[in-house]
Chain A
C-alpha cells in the first residue's frame, strides 16, 4: 500500500433504478489520487462526473446502487455508515458546488453557516468558531471579513458567494477538496480570479484536489492530471500536456478539436464536430461507450477495448486517436471557401438608445446611451459581464422591450417600439434565438406547429401542405429529417431543440437575427455543430446576426464585428481582429486575458478584475470602469466621461488613455 495515495477508486460502478429501467451512471471507474495532487475531470453532461463526486462523498440518491471500492486513506468509504461519514464530510473531504447562490442557505447569515463547520468538527465554542471564520475569510483575501459574516448570502455578489463556499470547505483543513464546476455559473472575469485563488490555496493548504468541469481551458489552469469521462467511464487519464498534445483516445481528440479557441475564425476554419449526442446508457450496453459517434471505429473495436497503461501515469481505453487505417477527417480544422460578401447598406442603426428600469423606486440604467450601426450580411458579437445590458439591448431590438429614449432603425425603418406596434413585415424580418431551447419551445406543440405558426401568422401561408413542404425543406437545412415533424420538443436532445429554434427563425427568411447565448446551454460537442450551422445559414441567407455571448472564443469565431459593453455603455467597437488585438480598452484586455486557454502550453497576460461592476442605479460621472481599471490615469477617469476615440474606419475605444494624446 502506497502511503502517499490519498484516494484509490477501484472498479467503481453506479447504477440508478429509474422508471425506464436501470441506467448505468458510472462503469468500472478506476484511478488513484496522490497527496497534494490535483486531478481535473472533464466530461459533457451525462458523463457521470458529478455522480463520481457524490460517490466519493457517499451521498447518492436512494435509487442508486454501487459496486467497487473507494478507498480514502486505505478505508472504503462506501462501507461507512452515515454516522461515520458525518465525521469525514466537510472535515477531511470537502466539496464546493456549481451554484454558490443556491448552495448557501438563504435564511442564515454567512457567519452562522461558516461557524457551524468548526463547531461540529473541531468542537470550538461559538466565539472561537467565529474567530476562525473571520480568519479564513481574511486568508482568502476577502476585505471586511467582520462585516461579511453578518450578511446574508443574497446580499453579496456571485463571486463572493463562491469564495464563501470555498472558505467553508477549507475551515477544517481537508485532505481532499472536490470542486464540481465551481466557476460555471460565474462571469469569465470572476472565474479567472477564482481559478487563481484555487491555485494559490492548493499550494498554501497542501491538499489534494478533484476539479470537475466541462471546460478544458478551466481544467488546464488548475490540474496536474486530467481524466476524460464519457458516458460513465474514464476513457483516458494522463498528465495534461500529453493529453492535449498527444491524446490517445479518439474522444479526447475530438473533444479538444471541437472547442473554438483563439486564432480559429470562421473565414479560415470550420469547427470540428462530433456527430450525434450523449445517450443514456442502459446496464446491458457494453463495449466502447463512444462507438456510435467515433470516426475511428473499425470492426475489431469491441475486442480491443479496455483501459490500460500505455506510459507512466497515462491510461487509455483506446489508442486509435491517430490511427492511420481510417481516413482522418478531424486532424486540423478544414479550410472553408470564403464566400464573397455583399455589404450594401445598414441592417441596423441605433441612435442614442437608453433603456431604464424602475427597481424599488430607483432607476436602473440597463442600456445607457448606445450609438452603433451594423451593416447587412454581418455578424456583430456582443460581449460583457452579466448585467452589462447586452440582453436588454437584444430585447429592445426584437421589440420585447420598449426603449426609454433613442431610436432603432432597421433597414431605414423606425422600429423603436414594442413588437405589438410593429408591422408584420418588420416582425418577420427580426427574429430571436434564445439561450435555452428547452424552455423557449412550447412543450405541448409538435415541431411542425412550432415552425408552422409564424409562417401562418407572418408569411400568410394558409395552405397546410405548402407549409409542410417548406418546413421539411428548412428542417433539412438544419440537418433534421422529416420524421421530426410530429415530434414534440421534449422528445429532442438539447442540440436538436436548438436546431428547431434555428429553423423556426430562418423559415421566415429574416434580415436580422438576435442570438442570445444560443450555444451556452449546449455541450461542447454539440455547440460546434450548432455554430457551424449558424455560420452556414448566415452566409447563405445574407442575414445579419446580433450574437450575444459570454464566451469570447465563440464570439471570436463567429463574429465580423465585436462590441464590448460595460454597464450599459459601449467601451470598444470594431472589426473582430481590431478588438482582439491592441490597442485595447483596458476592460477588453481584462476580458481577453481572463479566458482560460485550451492549450496548456499557452499562458496569457494576467490582468485580473476584482469586484463587480458598480451599482447601475447610481449616476456615474466619469468612466464606469474607473473603479476596477488597472490602467487608470488619474482623476480624469473619475470625473469625465470618456468619448469614443476613433482608430481607423470603424474601430473606436472609449478611454482616456487614448484621448489624452
Chain B
C-alpha cells in the first residue's frame, strides 16, 4: 500500500517538474538572440512585412500570453509548427525521429548493460587480481575516450577497411529503419564505449562492498558454493547502485546523443535538435528540449520504481508486526 502511494506521489511530482520545465524552456529560448520574423522572411524582408508577420504570429503579445498559448497547445497534444519548414506540424517530424532514437537507445542498452555488469562483477569478485586490473584499465581508458574519437576509429575499421558496415547511418529516402538495422551497430558501439567505464566501475565497487558484507560472509559460512553466493546473494544487492547510474544516463541516451547522431548522420532526436538550433527553429527547439526533459523525468521514475522492486526494504513498509 505504502509502495503504491509512494508511486503516486512520484508521479505527481513528475508532472509538476514538467510544468516548471516547460516554463523555463520557453523562457530560455525567448532569451536567444535573433528575431523570429526576420528569420522566417530572410534578408530581403520589408519592415512592413516583418511587422505584419509579427502581428499574425502573435509575437507582439506579452510573454505570459505567448507562453500560455504554447502551453495550452501542448496540453492538447499540439506542439506547433516548424518555422524552418513552413507549415509542417512538429508532431509529424518529431515522433518519427523519437522512434529512431528509441531504437538506437535500446540497441545501445542491450549492448552495454549486460557487458559492463558482467565485467564489473568479474572485476569486483576478483578485486586486485590480474583480471580485475585489465578490466579496470580498459574501463578507465574508454571513459577518457570521447565518442567522436571512438566513432571515427570504428568507421575507419569497420567501414573503410573491412567494408562490412555503412559509413553513415542515413536511411535512404523511401525506406524505413527496419530495413536498415545495420546502421545501428556503429553508433551503439560508440555509446557502449562511453558507458562501459562508468557502469562497470560502479558495478565493481558495489560488488566489492557487498562481497565484504556480513550476509555474504554468513552465506559462505553456511557452506554454499561460491558461484551461488555471488549470483544469488551478492548480485541482487550489488545491482542497486548500478541501476541508478544506468537510469540517470537513460535521458542522455534517448535524447542527448547529439554528438554521436551528428557524427554518423543518424536521423534521431539528437540530430533533429542540432539542426533546429542551427536554423533557429524556435518551436522545434522547444519541442525537442521539452521531450528530452520528459525522457529524463520518466527514466528517473522508472529507476526509482525498479529500485523499489529489487529492494524489499523500500518495497515493504517496515515494522509489519
Which residues of A lie under 8 Å from residue B16 when comparing CB positions?
Answer: none
Closest residue of chain A to B233 (Cβ to Cβ) is A105
Interface set, chain A 143-172, CB cutoff 8 A to B: 151-152, 154-157, 165, 168
Partner of B312, one of A99, A106, A116, A157: A106
Q: Is the CB of B221 within 8 A of A105?
A: no
> In the docked arrangement, what's the CA distance between A231 and B115, Å?
48
Which of B24-32, B84-92, B103-111, B313-321 interfaces with chain A? B313-321
Pick the interface stretch among A83-91, A218-226, A366-374. Answer: A83-91
Cβ of A154: which chain B residues have Cβ within 8 Å of it?
A: 312-313, 316, 318
Using A90-B221, A120-B225 as known contacts, say yes or no to A155 and B215 having CB atoms under 8 A apart: no
What per-residue 1/0 map shows which CB atoms of B208-238 lie under 8 Å from chain A? 0000011101111111111010001100110
Q: Are B320 and A103 in contact (CB under 8 A)?
A: no
Question: Most chain-B Cβ atoms within 10 A of its Cβ — which of A106, A157, A168?
Answer: A106
Contact B214 A86 (CB under 8 A): no
Partner of B233, one of A57, A82, A108: A108
B41 at interface by CB-CB < 8 Å = no
The residue on B at minimum CB distance from A120 is B224
A155-B319, A156-B321, A360-B317 are known contacts. Are A105 and B220 too (CB-CB below 8 A)?
A: no
Chain B residues contacting A168 (CB-CB under 8 Å) are 222
Q: Which residues of A contact B233 (CB under 8 A)?
A: 105, 108
Of all chain B residues, the one with the shortest Cβ separation from A171 is B222
CB–CB B321/A95 < 8 A: no
How far, in angstroms, from A107 to B312 measured CA to CA in the complex? Answer: 6
Interface residues of A in 64-110 (CB under 8 A from B): 82, 85-91, 94-95, 97, 99, 102-108
Q: Which residues of chain B have C-beta atoms less than 8 A from A151's C-beta?
A: 320
- Please judge, given known A-B contacts A104-B215, A107-B236, A107-B311, whether A95 and B221 are in contact too, CB under 8 Å: yes
A97 CA to B316 CA in the complex, in Å?
25
List, in ascending order, chain A residues with CB within 8 A of B320's CB: 151, 155
Judged by a CB distance under 8 angstroms, whether B310 is at the interface is yes
Most buried by B among A59, A105, A154, A360: A105
Interface check B178, CB cutoff 8 A: no
For B318, list chain A residues within 8 Å (CB).
154-155
A199 within 8 A of B: no
Q: Is the CB of A116 within 8 A of B321?
A: no
State whether B219 touches A105 (Cβ < 8 A).
yes
Least distance between B321 CB and chain A CB atoms (Å): 7
- Report yes or no: B213 in contact with A102, Cβ–Cβ below 8 A: yes
Q: Which residues of A contact B2 (CB under 8 A)?
A: 360
**Chain A min CB distance to B133 (Å):** 16
Complex Cα spacing A87 to B217, Å? 16
Complex CA distance for A88 and B226, rounded to whole angstroms: 14
Interface status of A34 (Cβ within 8 A of chain B): no
Contact between A102 and B215, CB atoms less than 8 A apart:
yes
A629 to B289 CA separation, bound complex (whole angstroms) = 65
Chain B residues positioned under 8 Å from A107 (CB to CB): 236-237, 310-312
Residues from chain A with a CB closer than 8 A to the CB of B319 are 155, 615
The answer to whether A117 has its CB under 8 Å from any CB of chain B is yes
Q: B296-316 vs A: 1/0 string, CB under 8 Å?
A: 000000000000001111001
Are A106 and B237 interface neighbours, CB within 8 A?
A: yes
CB proximity of A168 to chain B, nearest CB, Å: 7
Q: Which residues of B contact A85 (CB under 8 A)?
A: 223
Q: A107-B236, A615-B319 are in contact. Are A59 and B217 (CB under 8 A)?
A: yes
A202 at the B interface (CB under 8 A): no
Which bracket fits the contact residues of A? Answer: 35 or more
Complex formed: what's the CA distance from A157 to B219 in Å? 21
Looking at the assembled complex, report how far the CB atom of A89 sits from the nearest CB atom of chain B, in whole angstroms: 4
Contacts of A117 in B (CB 8 A): 222-224
CB-based contact B222/A103 at 8 Å: no
Interface majority SS (helix, strand, loop, mixed), chain B: helix
Contact A89 B220 (CB under 8 A): yes
Q: Is A104 a contact partner of B223 (Cβ separation < 8 A)?
A: no
CA distance A168 to B236 in the complex (A): 21
Taking the closest CB of chain A, its distance from the CB of B222, in whole angstroms, is 4
A152 to B223, CA, bound (A): 21
Supposing A102-B213, A106-B312, A151-B320 touch, asked if A116 and B224 sit within 8 A by C-beta, the answer is: yes
Q: Which residue of B lies closest to A102 (CB)?
A: B214
Contact pattern, B 51-64, Cβ under 8 Å of A = 1, otherwise 0: 00000000000000
Please state if B223 and A99 are interface contacts (CB–CB under 8 Å).
no
Question: Complex: how many Å from CA A102 to CA B222?
Answer: 15
Among A103, A106, A155, the residue within 8 A (CB) of B218 is: A103
Shortest CB distance B223–A (Å): 3
- Chain A residues 487-537 with CB under 8 Å of chain B are none
Q: CA–CA, A156 to B318, complex, Å?
A: 9
Q: A628 an interface residue at 8 Å Cβ cutoff? A: no
Chain A residue with minimal CB distance to B212? A61
When distances are taken between beta carbons in the complex, the residues of chain B under 8 Å from A105 are: 215, 219, 233, 237
Contact A57 B221, beta carbon cutoff 8 Å: yes
Whether A375 is near chain B, meaning CB under 8 Å from some CB there, is no
Q: Indicate whether A121 reaches chain B with its CB closer than 8 angstroms.
A: yes
- When C-beta atoms are compared, the residue in chain B nearest to A114 turns out to be B222
Quote the shortest CB–CB distance from B209 to chain A (angstroms).
13
Q: In the complex the two chains form, what is the Cα distance from A91 to B222 in whole Å? A: 7
Q: B13 to nearest A CB, angstroms?
A: 17
- Interface flags for B179-218 (1: CB within 8 Å of A; 0: not) read 0000000000000000000000000000000000111011
Known: A102-B213, A103-B214, A155-B319. A59 touches B313 (CB 8 A): no
The winner among B215, B217, B223 for most chain A CB atoms within 10 A is B223
- Are B311 and A91 closer than 8 Å at their CB atoms? no
Tell me the nearest residue of chain B to A157, going by C-beta: B321
How far, in angstroms, from A89 to B217 measured CA to CA in the complex? 11
Provided the pairs A151-B320, A156-B321 are in contact, do residues A106 and B224 lie with their beta carbons within 8 angstroms? no
Is there an interface contact between A121 and B321, defined as CB atoms closer than 8 Å? Answer: no
Name B214's contact: one of A87, A88, A97, A152 (CB within 8 Å).
A97
Interfacial chain B residues near A155, Cβ < 8 Å: 316, 318-321
Q: Chain A contacts of B236 at CB under 8 A?
A: 107-108
Shortest C-beta distance, B135 to chain A (Å), equals: 19
Give bound CA distance, A87 to B224, whole Å. Answer: 9
State how many angstroms separate the Cβ of B208 from the closest Cβ of chain A.
13
Known contacts A87-B223, A154-B313: A104-B218 contact under CB 8 Å: yes
**Is B221 touching A89 in the complex (CB atoms < 8 A)?**
yes
With a cutoff of 8 Å between Cβ atoms, the chain B residues found around residue A82 in the complex are: 226
| Docked CA distance A95–B222 (Å) | 8
Name the distance in Å between B218's Cβ and chain A's nearest Cβ: 4
| Contact assessment for B225 and A86 in the assembled complex, using a CB-CB cutoff below 8 Å | yes
**Closest chain A residue to B128, Cβ basis:** A62
A-B contact pairs, 22 of them (CB 8 A): A59-B221, A86-B223, A89-B221, A90-B223, A90-B224, A91-B223, A95-B218, A99-B214, A103-B215, A103-B218, A104-B215, A106-B311, A107-B311, A116-B224, A117-B222, A120-B225, A120-B228, A121-B223, A152-B312, A152-B313, A154-B313, A156-B321
Known contacts A121-B223, A152-B316; 20 further A-B pairs (Cβ under 8 A)? A86-B223, A90-B224, A91-B223, A95-B221, A99-B214, A102-B213, A103-B217, A106-B311, A107-B236, A107-B310, A108-B236, A116-B228, A117-B224, A120-B225, A120-B228, A152-B313, A156-B321, A157-B321, A165-B218, A360-B317
Q: List the 9 closest A-B pairs by CB distance, nearest first.
A: A90-B223, A90-B222, A89-B223, A102-B214, A103-B218, A152-B312, A105-B215, A103-B214, A107-B236
